[in-house]
Amino acid sequence: MKQEQNALSILIPTYNYCCLSLVESLHAQATAQDGLSFEILVADDGSTDTATVTANRAINLLSDCRYIERDVNVGRAAIRNFLAQQSRYPLLLFMDSDMVVPDGDFLTRYLAVAHEPVVDGGVCIRGDVRSLHHNLRFRYEKRSEEQHTAARRARTPYAHFHTANFMVHRDVMLAHPFDLRFRHYGYEDVLFGKTMQQHGIRIVHLDNPLSFEVYETNAEFVAKTEEALRTLFTFSHELRGYNSLLSLSDLLHRFHLHAPVRIFHRLFGPLLRRQLCGARPCLSFFNLYKLGYFVNLHFLGFSVQRTCDEWNEK
């Protein structure tokens, strides 16, 4: 084995979520790997739910595991950079705290490609279709599931990089950290993929998914989507060419169709939003709402940009 295959830091940022079961699953797999030196670091990004923090403190009872409590929320990019800086080993495995390890060979598959500088393992979507039929997030992710396969992601490897489940060499991560301007939800992973492409660093896509099984309410998902669209608007220049919605918006602008879309959104956007937050959300309406919301940001102009700049200065 090469040196990097023998030493792994598993890094998990979390916020108001108990990830003890995830850590226990990873700890069991890592312990079973012959000759593997490992650590599992969980960084709490200023959680406000004291019960969750208390439950996560049990992580410290597991060997080679550490739960790091931070008082101030620094954002999605900064917390991942912090974890990389805290890590000891040359191979870093990042994942979101609300994911589930679906089988016992998860770490084995990653270690088999430890020579690759960046590896995206992907996600799979699980849940009972009948009980989650009215959940917008579940329906959206399930509809998009075929795009999560390694073969599909590999067609545009840099544009389809995601932070939910990826492995990276520590020296690569420290040399190219996440952009600290990304404090709010969305697209810090897309810019990281672009950075890798600009520096000629290969991203390999692997069918080694973590399972996505936790779905917020419809209203929470719509609000999170709106936050992501504001992030996309703020960083439109940097992300151009790496996002399909941004490309569609540019196409509409080229043919002078922004104004009709904006008018439609002003008239019907509130009705669409109400429908999406209700008990029978329509995915077609969701896509239409996202487009209208994003195009409308252009017409709000400086006030929106100023607000986004203020977010990123906090």
3-state per-residue secondary structure call for 10-44: EEEEECCCCCHHHHHHHHHHHHHCCCCEEEEEEEE
Unique residue bearing structure tokens 């990019």: 77
Give the mean pLDDT of the chain.
Answer: 92
- Strands of the sheet with 203-205, listed across from one edge: 65-70, 37-45, 7-14, 91-95, 165-169, 118-120, 203-205
For residue 146, the model assigns a pLDDT of: 86
Query: What residues does each domain of the chain span?
Result: 3-215, 219-313
| C-alpha to C-alpha distance for 126 and 141, rounded to whole angstroms | 10
Q: How far is CA 299 from CA 52, 56, 109, 249, in A?
A: 41, 44, 48, 13
- Class for the domain spanning 3-215: alpha beta
* pLDDT, tens only, 115-157: 999 999 999 999 999 999 999 999 999 999 888 899 999 999 9
**Which one has a higher pLDDT value, 219 or 310?**
219
For residue 158, the model assigns a pLDDT of: 95
Report, as an integer, the average pLDDT of 81-86.
98
Sign of CA dihedral 29, 144, 148, 179: negative
* pLDDT, tens only, 254-265: 999 999 999 999
| C-alpha to C-alpha distance for 143 and 206, rounded to whole angstroms | 20
Tokens coding 189: 């992973």
pLDDT at 303 over 80: no
| C-alpha to C-alpha distance for 18 and 54, rounded to whole angstroms | 9
Sign of CA dihedral 52, 55, 60, 62: negative
Kindly state the percentage of the chain with pLDDT values over 90: 88
| C-alpha to C-alpha distance for 26 and 138, rounded to whole angstroms | 25
pLDDT at 34 over 70: yes
pTM: 0.91
Phi then psi for residue 28, to 5 deg, are -65, -45
pLDDT at 30 over 90: yes
